[in-house]
Amino acid sequence: MEDRTKHKVEQLLKSARLRRTKARSDILGALLEAHQPLTREQISERIGACAPNKVTIYRAMETFVAADIVHKAFVQDRTWYFELSHHCTTDQCHPHFSCTSCGRTDCLHELSIPMTADSGGYIIQHQRVQLEGLCPKCSKSA
Ligand SMILES: [Zn+2]
Ligand SMILES: [Zn+2]
Ligand SMILES: [Zn+2]
């Protein structure tokens, strides 16, 4: 893990008033360095041989979500992808773009979609936008 990442991990844990453990640090480090949402499995893969076990990752993610420093970005093939909350507001995440050709998903931080107005008795608490199409790489070769 880079020094810059280590420093950010410490800040995140501090802001959430969470005790620093190796597992928690490794997981947040993986999310910080990925720059895209990851599944629990992908987090484990990124950490590598010394990755915490499944239960530890599961518990750490629950803690992070409860503390609001990590959130569920989107679901794909019934698997949740998680990301750090620092690019998102509480009621709206940035849109996520999934490429139908290569399968990669990108965070579109610079794009914001107007909040849907509450209507007909539905109270909208969170808007999640998932877009599909061809990423820049695939659209060039299409
Ligand atoms: Zn988000
Ligand atoms: Zn693509
Ligand atoms: Zn994102």
Q: Any idea which ligand is nearest the CA of 69? A: 1
**How many other C-beta atoms lie within 10 A of the C-beta of residue 127?**
14
* Residue whose entry in the numeric block shows the structure tokens 């107005």: 117
What does the domain layout of the chain look like in residue ranges? Answer: 3-86, 96-141
pLDDT in tens, 91-140: 778 899 999 999 889 999 888 788 777 778 888 887 888 999 999 999 99
79 φψ region: left (φ > 0), alpha (ψ -120 to 50), beta (else): beta
Nearest by Cα to 85 from 71, 99, 64, 65: 71
CA distance 112 to 110: 7
State the distance from the centre of ligand 3 to the C-alpha of 109, rounded, in angstroms: 7
Top-level class of domain 3-86: mainly alpha
Side chain identity at 62, as an amino acid letter? E
**How many other C-beta atoms lie within 10 A of the C-beta of residue 30?**
22
Note the pTM of the prediction, 2 decimals: 0.85
Q: Any idea which ligand is nearest the CA of 128? A: 1
Note the pLDDT of residue 60. Answer: 97
Note the pLDDT of residue 76. Answer: 85
Q: Any idea which ligand is nearest the CA of 87? A: 1
